Amino acid sequence: MNQDQLSLYAAIAQSGIAITFNKKTGDPCPCATSGDGGRVGYSAEWHRENPDADHCNGSLIINASVSVINCKTLLYNADQIKTDELKAMFGELQPDDIVINVLLNSSDWSEIDMSGISEQDDTFTYNGNTYVLRQYKDLQVSDSFCQVGLLKRIA
């Protein structure tokens, strides 16, 4: 980690915005089948043939639990974003979209890798609203990278 990253993390730890990350974990459901193109998908047929098995309700996860992780981030409401670069990354932004820049776990200040966040299973809570990570990008800053993510409001 270089000095620029350390300075950014320190600034986020001190004055970043609090956001809650709700990470769903569990066991892979045996119904998951490989479909066209090798993508894993839900199999209602498997559940019909195995009625006594746990049902994943399409999430592909059984024995699920949700870990609540308190985080800090740099957060921008869509109406605050004026740069063409961010608009080019994410396209047209809706009024209730938010953009986060670097997501730090408040308990140990480690960065949470956005590539491991599922749009289907994981959510964020901010100001009483629920969001999903629609997409993220790795952004080069000086000689290091940080992640920028687009959160879409779902409730």
pLDDT at res. 147: 92
127 and 139 in a common domain: yes
Residue 106 and residue 67: Cα distance in Å, rounded?
A: 14
Domain range enclosing 35: 26-64
In the predicted model, is pLDDT for residue 87 greater than 70?
Answer: yes
How high does pLDDT run on average in the chain? 88
Query: What pLDDT is stored for residue 37 in this prediction?
Result: 55
Clarify whether residues 78 and 132 are in a common domain: yes
pLDDT above 70 (res 99) = yes
pLDDT score, position 2: 76
**101 bridge partner residues:** 74, 148
Do 47 and 79 share a domain, yes or no?
no
User: pLDDT tens, 28-62?
Assistant: 899 887 555 556 788 888 899 999 999 888 888 89
pLDDT at 154 over 60: yes
18 with 79, same domain: the answer is yes
Q: What is the helix, strand, coil percentage profile of the chain, to 5?
A: 25, 45, 35
Residue 47 and residue 75 in one domain: no
Q: Which amino acid is at 20?
A: T
User: How confident is residue 144, by pLDDT bands cut at 50, 70 and 90?
Assistant: confident
Residues 30 and 89 in one domain: no
What is the domain count for the chain? 2
**pLDDT at residue number 1:** 66
125 and 77 within one domain:
yes
DSSP characters over 56-125: -TTSSEEEEEEEEEEEEEEEEEGGG---HHHHHHH-SPPTT-EEEEEEEETTT-PBPPGGG--TTT-EEE
**Model confidence at 125, in pLDDT bands (50, 70, 90)?**
very high
Residues 123 and 81 in one domain: yes
Same domain, 130 and 149: yes
Q: Looking at residues 89-106, what average pLDDT do you find?
A: 91
Same domain assignment for residues 90 and 43: no
Other residues' Cβ atoms within 10 Å of the Cβ of residue 153: 15
Q: Looking at residue 22, what is its pLDDT?
A: 97
User: Are 9 and 83 in the same domain?
Assistant: yes
- Are 113 and 84 found together in one domain? yes
User: What is residue 24's predicted lDDT score, i.e. its pLDDT?
Assistant: 93
